Amino acid sequence: MSRVSRMEHAIEAPAGCTGARAHRGEAVGVLEVMVNSWQKVCALGAIPQLGARVVKSMHGNIAVFRTADDEVFALLDKCPHKGGPLSQGIVHGRKVTCPLHSWNIQLDDGNAVAPDAGCAQRFEARVENGVVLLKIQSPESKQR
């Protein structure tokens, strides 16, 4: 594994994680984060269009999705229905379909599409200069 270190965080990425041959939902790294700050996750190209990658964090696995329009979204990698791995689902538009029971989850807010009800935890994500950034908030800052 290669190791990229910064003062505020580190990412351990599997060798070759930036290649387009990676499998759906493959892990791109482990974040050792300072909460409430933006963390580098991977290059945008490491996430295939209409695909996802998993980032391991103190909150559990986070699925980082890329749409056909190169938008990125991040949700806890757990369907609100039965806990299925959303990172292994099918991305279409701004939604992902859970691979277990075909629930559709909106990527922008984590809500299940009616008639289903439930919500996957959402994390802020953005792209800057071709790099995907993720913001992990502490539980205290979410309550404010």
Q: What is the pLDDT of residues 20-59, one digit of tens each?
A: 233 455 555 555 555 678 999 999 999 999 999 999 988 8
- Cα separation, 134 vs 141, in Å, equals 16
Q: What is the pLDDT of residues 60-69, one digit of tens each?
A: 999 999 999 9
Q: Is position 142 within any domain?
A: no
- Residue 10 amino acid letter: A
- Cα separation, 139 vs 136, in Å, equals 9
Q: Is position 143 within any domain?
A: no
Name the residue range of residue 53's domain.
2-136
CATH number, domain with residue 41:
2.102.10.10
Q: Is position 33 within any domain?
A: yes
User: What is the total count of domains within the chain?
Assistant: 1
Q: Is position 141 within any domain?
A: no
Q: Is position 144 within any domain?
A: no
